[in-house]
Amino acid sequence: MDHSDRIVDLVESLTRAEKLALVHGAPDPDGTATGYLPGVDRLGVPELKLADGPLGVRTPGQAATAFPASIALAATFDDDLARRQGAAIGREANARGQDVLLGPGLNLIRVPHCGRNFEYFSEDPVLTGSFAGAVVEGLQSEDVVATPKHFVANNQETRRTRVSADVSERALRECYLPGFRAAVDAGAGAIMTAYNQINGTHASEHHRLLTEVLKGEWGFEGFVMSDWFGTETTVGAANAGLDLEMPGITSEEMMESFDMPDLELSDIDFGNADALPTPETAGTRMFAEPLDEAIDAGDVPEARLDDMVARILGQMERFGVLDDERNEGEIDTPEHREIAEEVATRGTVLLENDGVLPLDDDADVAVVGPAATVAMLGGGGSSEMTAFDETPTVDGIRERAGGTVTYAQGVPEIEIPSFFDDIFGDDEAATDADADTDSASVAIDDAVEAAESAEVAVVVVQDATTEAEDRDDLRLPGDQDALVEAVAAANDRTVVVVQSSGPVELPWRDDVAAVVESWYPGQADGDAVASVLYGDADAGGRLPVTFAPESEYPATEPHQYPGDDEVHYDEGVFVGYRHFDDTDAEPTYPFGHGLSYAEFAYRDVEMVDDETVRVTVENTSERDGREVVQAYVRPPHVADVERPLREFAGHTAVDIPAGESVTVDVTLDDLAFRRYDESDGWTVDPGAYGVEVGRSSRDVRAETGVSR
């Protein structure tokens, strides 16, 4: 790889010790960065600060705008909004003095149980790629280095540091890698490796993936960092292409920087010990003395160290860090608050509606459920945010409602697991005592009574997920299902607002009048939910994941998930909706689904060139609406080749005023045409490809075709 003359000179001027100090982290003297490089004073190389995302910039003890979860962002099907959210997070990172943002997270949603699905975008590689690219562009437009993570196949939290994803080259190429490829094509300056192994080799020392694919085939010029304590070896990782060990400090130093010197990393109970870094790696600095010795012994070429350093300095040069030209940034501005609200609103998906929504302005509403009193900022883990200001769901509804609003909790509070509470040792006894008081004072009957005396009941329900743990099942935790059933029996105009990390089971869905999925909407929770419930905004969100009963998903055999030492991706490329199409299983709500308050008619579909499908969409209703035009490609049949029935190929979101028609172009991603052949590589089978245009993967409104 060619580095600039300045970087080449700089690397030449550095001593071995100085170089080594640039390839493993150190404690941040300010205690705000998640990862830190001290720089080299002698040569004017400034420090480099890395902060967690991806739901905003997380610096301990400080607030920032709490943006909606990544899955909510993807549900907008609006890349431009993703670019704007990325740029806003970039400005906030600058305001907090952070140079690198540890996001976006973009692992494919393979299993609905994964505890981090809210940090990821979708079950589809093309949709994932477009959001990954857009967020990278947004962040980096503010000169903040983006760090797409976790490369690759970190699709579950169970045994995440040990498990080997046994995955075919075809599934890797067609499903798990394209999001990262898109992020690299968008110019990502850094990449974070996964904790897990891929086919028996840890991601941080996977030469083929890091050096051959990422840096070779894709031409990635940035630096590859490990996940925290995820560097397993010195020689293996360095020679495989890892450039930066993070955090590079021992667990003791980390605890000291948290001001908890007596706590050992291994003492922390995350609820899932298998999610912890392995004890061997948690206490070492692989890229400090051991790397020095490995170079002396000739096990790692000195040129490899030079390349690591040049890659890191190269990105510092590219984004102005080297010249101390960091942008000043801004935090918690009206614009950022508006973006957070717009994403939350547009990402809200109307799953069912028998006509109860939008609500009448003057309807008397009973709001029910413990989830209504909190703004759902996210799940637990490294993405946890602290907002300056947040609007719980019930507050947003109160503010918007013209009629009376009553509230009843109905069932005990659902605790959102907090990774950091675990680390900092929350007083469990106190929590239990609180929970007891809570359950004694709340009763479903109160909720039923409130629902009976209101015109409309709005039940707000939530799941509870965290990094380091997967969900046991897809049911709503606690007594929330019973709450919905009781309220629905008392009021036939019951609306359920679901706030979840991804798919959940909704066993009562036929008994309620409407269901709205608002994910983890972030600080603007109440405002966004109210504006969709009252129809101030059309329900513009669509599902980036299939909703189905747990037993219907792919990977239901224990060896497929959660696996043991290995997890077998036997379903190959049949992930998400591809599996449902292949098995003819009926999803509860298909990929791409989302109702609108308007109605749309599709006509005049045609290919305008080989990769663009054009369709006219008319809003036949009397309301202005927002439509997400989706395109899917159906490959020709080829003997002995199993392919998905259809593959998502692209989308365009448009606002269409009442009664008007617009012509919409959708660009078809090449990935939907290609397949990866284990011996011939990327292959486009010659033949006729169907092109479907419609409202979801199961609601095709117009069809055309193209030959390849």
Active-site residues: which are they?
227
Q: Which is nearer to ligand NOJ, 382 or 406 (CB)?
A: 382
Q: Looking at this protein, which amino acid is placed at residue 104?
A: P
Least distance to ligand NOJ, CB of residue 277, Å: 9
Q: Which is nearer to ligand NOJ, 221 or 227 (CB)?
A: 227
Q: Looking at this protein, which amino acid is placed at residue 444?
A: I
DSSP string, 472-503: SSSSPSTTHHHHHHHHHHH-SSEEEEEE-SS-
The counts of H helices and E strands in the chain are 21, 25
Q: Which is nearer to ligand NOJ, 102 or 575 (CB)?
A: 102
For 327-445, strand residue ranges (E) read: 349-353, 365-368, 405-408
Token look-up 């239990």 returns: 432
Q: Which string of x and - marks every residue 377-396 that binds ligand NOJ (by CB under 6 A)? A: -----x--------------
Cβ atoms of residues 161 and 196 within 8 Å = yes
Q: Which is nearer to ligand NOJ, 228 or 553 (CB)?
A: 228
Angstrom distance (rounded) from CA 195 to CA 176: 15
Least distance to ligand NOJ, CB of residue 203, Å: 11
Tell me if residue 347 falls in helix, strand or coil: coil
- By C-alpha distance, which of 510, 509, 474, 478 is closest to 409? 478
Q: Which is nearer to ligand NOJ, 32 or 382 (CB)?
A: 382
What pairing do the DSSP bridges indicate for beta strands 164-166 and 48-52?
Answer: unpaired
Query: Two tokens at 24?
Result: 């493993």
Q: Which is nearer to ligand NOJ, 103 or 594 (CB)?
A: 103
Least distance to ligand NOJ, CB of residue 96, Å: 15
Token look-up 């995302």 returns: 53
Distant-in-sequence, close-in-space partners of 222: CB < 8 Å, separation ≥ 6: 145, 188, 189, 190, 191, 311, 314, 315
Q: Which is nearer to ligand NOJ, 143 or 227 (CB)?
A: 227
Residues 136-155 within binding reach of ligand NOJ (CB under 6 A) = 149-150
Distant-in-sequence, close-in-space partners of 276: CB < 8 Å, separation ≥ 6: 161, 265, 266, 268, 270, 282, 468
Q: Is 521 left (phi over 0), alpha (psi -120 to 50) or beta?
A: alpha
Q: Which is nearer to ligand NOJ, 34 or 117 (CB)?
A: 34
Task: Give pairs for 658-661: CB < 8 Å, separation 24+.
Answer: 658/598, 658/619, 658/621, 658/622, 658/623, 658/624, 658/625, 659/618, 659/619, 659/620, 659/621, 659/622, 660/618, 660/619, 661/616, 661/617, 661/618, 661/619
Shortest Cβ contact with ligand NOJ: which residue?
A: 382
- By C-alpha distance, which of 120, 218, 221 is closest to 178? 218
Residues 32-91 within binding reach of ligand NOJ (CB under 6 A) = 34, 52
Distance of CA 17 to the CA centre of its chain: 37
Can you tell me which of 77, 120, 151, 228 binds ligand NOJ, judged by CB under 6 A? Answer: 228
Interface with ligand NOJ (CB under 6 A), residue total 8
Least distance to ligand NOJ, CB of residue 52, Å: 5
DSSP string, 295-331: HHTTSS-HHHHHHHHHHHHHHHHHTTTTTT-------
Least distance to ligand NOJ, CB of residue 228, Å: 4
Residues 596-625 within binding reach of ligand NOJ (CB under 6 A) = none
Asked if 311 touches ligand NOJ (CB under 6 A), the answer is no
Least distance to ligand NOJ, CB of residue 119, Å: 8
Least distance to ligand NOJ, CB of residue 420, Å: 10
Q: Where are the alpha helices (DSSP H) in 210-327?
A: 235-240, 251-257, 279-282, 289-296, 302-318
SS3 content of the chain, % helix, strand, coil (to 5): 35, 20, 45
Q: Which is nearer to ligand NOJ, 149 or 509 (CB)?
A: 149
Q: Looking at this protein, which amino acid is placed at residue 559?
A: H
Residues 620-659 within binding reach of ligand NOJ (CB under 6 A) = none
Asked if 227 touches ligand NOJ (CB under 6 A), the answer is yes
Can you tell me which of 57, 102, 135, 629 binds ligand NOJ, judged by CB under 6 A? Answer: 102
Least distance to ligand NOJ, CB of residue 565, Å: 20
Least distance to ligand NOJ, CB of residue 19, Å: 24
Q: Which is nearer to ligand NOJ, 104 or 625 (CB)?
A: 104
What pairing do the DSSP bridges indicate for beta strands 164-166 and 566-568?
Answer: parallel
Q: Is 623 left (phi over 0), alpha (psi -120 to 50) or beta?
A: beta
Least distance to ligand NOJ, CB of residue 291, Å: 21
Task: Summarize as ranges the residues that interact with ligand NOJ (CB under 6 A).
Answer: 34, 52, 102, 149-150, 227-228, 382
